[in-house]
Structure 1
């Protein structure tokens, strides 16, 4: 599915699949996880529907993993979602429900939909600890990669990490995982669109999940569909208070410029949301000069 959301989304789907399998005879000590793709388990999984609300990337990772294992899947998407993500899900047998509304309201509708069905499992992007744990595995991966490249990380040579933030769950999980591995030697900085500074607003006001950008008249219009979230998660303010170094914002015009530079100079093609972190690197260079 090609995004950081895969770490959390795929992990939570697998955790739920494991739970259902264990309740139906799967033995962690004897059985192989490859067995979960056998007809016996696919029939069990097919009794359940996994639901999630998403602006795109989380829905893509959850939908693709769920359908691969045999679950029914329903992805509730806000109007910010891009057509190619919607089409990819539907091509893989996933039901996609589009709301002509913002992400926070799509989450509320998805939660109600799931509660009505006893065989529905809801993945809550605004408060799931399993998603958070999945994202946090990035800390161990980054430590291993830097060690293999013989790059020192210490208080004297800190690791500064610029993390795109939407609802804030995935960058918080990554930052948490990095803090576990590098402690004070890592400096996490969130980057948000200027028209969708949900985490910045929540943490600066102290209201966290109880305030939305729409509450103070910000229009929420951005081409960064993966970050098009007006209200932060229930987790980010609680877990990041003493871990996050800061938050900065970037305009859509700058975001498109960074996206183009990355393609031209490095031949790396990313969607707009993934390019916002370059703001920090470019600004740091300008300050140092």
Structure 2
């Protein structure tokens, strides 16, 4: 890939840096780079706009997360570190296990017992040590931090650690090269690594593209925080989109998001399920709920996107197949 050389004169007040993002491509295993991006005409006809799909599941860990863990693992290996721990809803843990094995790191992953069994099985299969806690992702974060303190090892915190954001930002470099002109890019919003990373690159190199974050009504903390320009926490989450189900936004990540996102919207569970079904029917893709958030956003506000070129990032396909079949069959929520 020839890196984009045109720079926008807009000064972005964030933690991210375009030169570091470009450098990240040199340490990420090529198997995770230059993922397919294609215009899906059948999906576009169904949604009433031109739709391009950026397929971040066509890699060994079936999600975008390894772009960040590759940067983390390379840096730790260069520092002579040999152990690392993280909390994960599933995808980060598998990705860190994969990158850790490549860089000879001992990886411990803490996950919620509520995480899909398929994701937990894949973390174990990666060679990572898996610790399961009763409670949600935020409780897993607390446990991982405790392990890091007691063992004196590096704690990887998705979205807080800048490597995870700048690794994810390499998606943005590819979008700018592969998909012009871009009218809108729809990004699943969880902790914020992908949203801040891709958003930063778009604002720097393709400022005419609208960067829209999408989150479920059942897990709205980051979206509410963006809307109110302050950290808003929630007591619980209630969504099938487990990959974005956080309750406690990280303040510095919110600051970055405020600088790069044009909008943040919430969608209903029924729209997420409909989006999963449409991606299967029109694009032949089996995706996890978080990956259908972009399609859900178009379904709920079609007039906003009519006649525009929309890119949706398919961020993960690690889904329990029993759950998936139950969701995508006709009228699954009745």
Q: TM class, shorter-chain normalised?
A: 0.7 to 0.9
Alpha-carbon contact 1:125-1:233 (below 8 Å) kept: no
- 1:140 aligns to what? 173
Asked if the contact 2:90–2:243 (Cα under 8 Å) also holds between the matched residues in 1, the reply is yes
- Provide Cα deviations, 1:171-205, integer angstroms capped at 9, x if missing partner: 1111112212112x121111001110111122233
TM-score, normalising length from structure 1?
0.79
Question: Which of these residues, 204, 208, 225, is aligned with residue 202 of structure 1?
Answer: 225
- Is 1:70–2:99 an aligned residue pair? no
> Bigger relative contact order, structure 1 or 2, given CA contacts below 8 A and separation 6+?
2
Residues 102-113 of structure 1: pairs in structure 2 closer than 5 A: 102-113=136-147
Write the deviation string for residues 57-103 of structure 1: whole angstroms up to 9, x where unpaired.
Answer: 11111112112332111001123421111111212321111111122
More helix by share: 1
Residue 192 of structure 1 corresponds to 215
Say which one has the larger Rg: 1
CA offsets 1:89-126 (integer angstroms, 9 cap, x no match): 212321111111122221122112111113x2211125
Matches within 5 A, 1:134-173: 134-146=167-179, 151-153=180-182, 159-173=183-197
> Partner of 2:76 in structure 1?
16
Structure 1, unaligned stretches of length 5 or more?
21-44, 154-158
Q: CA deviation at 1:283?
A: 4.0
Paired residue for 1:36?
Answer: none
Match of 1:83 in 2: 117
Match in the other structure for 1:33: none
- Cα gap change, 1:224 to 1:52, in 2 (>3 Å): same
CA separation of 1:178/1:115 partners in 2, compared to 1, >3 Å: closer, same or farther?
A: same
Kindly state the Cα deviation for residue 284 of structure 1 after the two structures are TM-superposed: 4.8
Counterpart among 299, 302, 307 of residue 285 in structure 1: 302
TM-score (norm 2): 0.69
SS in 2 for 1:213: coil
Runs (5+) with no aligned partner, structure 2:
1-60, 308-334
Please provide the CA RMSD for this pair.
Answer: 1.9
Contact 1:167 1:198 in 2 (8 A): no
Match of 2:233 in 1: 212
The yes-or-no answer on 1:248 pairing with 2:265 is yes
- For 1:176, the equivalent position in structure 2 comes to 200
Select the residue among 256, 260, 267 that pairs with 2:277. 260
Is residue 139–residue 181 contact of structure 1 (8 Å, CA) maintained in 2?
no
